[in-house]
Amino acid sequence: MDGLRLRTKGRLDPVDLRTDRPHPARVYDYLLGGKDNFPADRSAAERGLGKAPGLRDLARANRAFLTRVVRAAVEAGVRQFIDLGTGIPTSPNVHEVAGGHTPGARVVYVDNDPIVATHARALLTSAGDTAFLLADLRDTKAILDSPETRALIDFDEPVAVLCVALLHHIPDEADPRGIIERLTGAVAPGSLLALSHLGADLAPAQAAAISAGAAQDGVTLIPRDRETVSALFTGLDVLEPGLVPVPLWRPDTPVWDDEVARTWIYGGMAVKP
């Protein structure tokens, strides 16, 4: 057991970090060029790069997609965000993007990795209208009812729910669509859902290889085809340009065909009617 302790209701509880096993948030941090990862994470990432050399491009494109959807949410008048699977803090973070466009934006960051928690509480929750919640996406009630969420989020007003590069870590038996339905069912009309998801049909051979390699490392990674990912937006109105490879979602600069080919992850945003 590693020496980290997390504070819970005034006491310090020891946490088993299992740094000997890769964690998606820390693998993602390594792919983005971050330093908050461990040998197991780096080894898993390098094995993935051996199967799909464009993984770093994919991670960067996904991060840029997050920035654009936050900006689009602010432009739509949304001032509240729940960022699920936030990962190791990487600037610009959600509150930095939102706060750069509107004062008073409020953000609840959620992740299930205790190491993310230590970094997030040090770097993200000092920003004012932000909070961090250590929770698993599958426990939607804990996320929605937590004191951290209730202190910042007014569920009578629109909320942007961000589920970026997360649902492909949720197995079918955990019902990803049901998770999304519970989350979007709790927010007001006019709320937004933004998600990205590895596309099994965009690069079938690479997707299969990466999924199999992750399973050997004990990590769930399930690319899904466009039809399956589209179904996650059931009951919502998908906004233009629809569900597309993330470089094509409202790009800031021209997008080249080879960039799209390297980035086999879908992204989209929808509004609750």
Reported as a single tens digit per residue, the pLDDT across 241-262 is: 999 999 999 999 999 988 888 8
**pTM, full prediction:** 0.89
Domain boundaries, the chain: 24-272
Instruction: For residue 273, give the DSSP letter.
Output: -
Helices 24-31 + 55-75 axis angle, to 10: 100
Stretch (H or E) spanning 182? helix 176-185
Rounded mean pLDDT of the chain? 89
What number is the average pLDDT over the span 211-228? Answer: 93
| Helices and strands (H, E) in the chain, number of each type | 11, 10
Residue 123 CB-half CA count within 13 A: 17
**Under CATH, what is the fold of the domain 24-272?**
Rossmann fold (3.40.50)
Question: What would the pLDDT profile of 4-46 be if each residue is shown by its tens digit?
Answer: 434 443 333 444 456 788 888 888 888 888 888 889 999 998 9
Question: What would the pLDDT profile of 154-197 be if each residue is shown by its tens digit?
Answer: 999 999 999 999 999 999 999 999 999 999 999 999 999 999 99
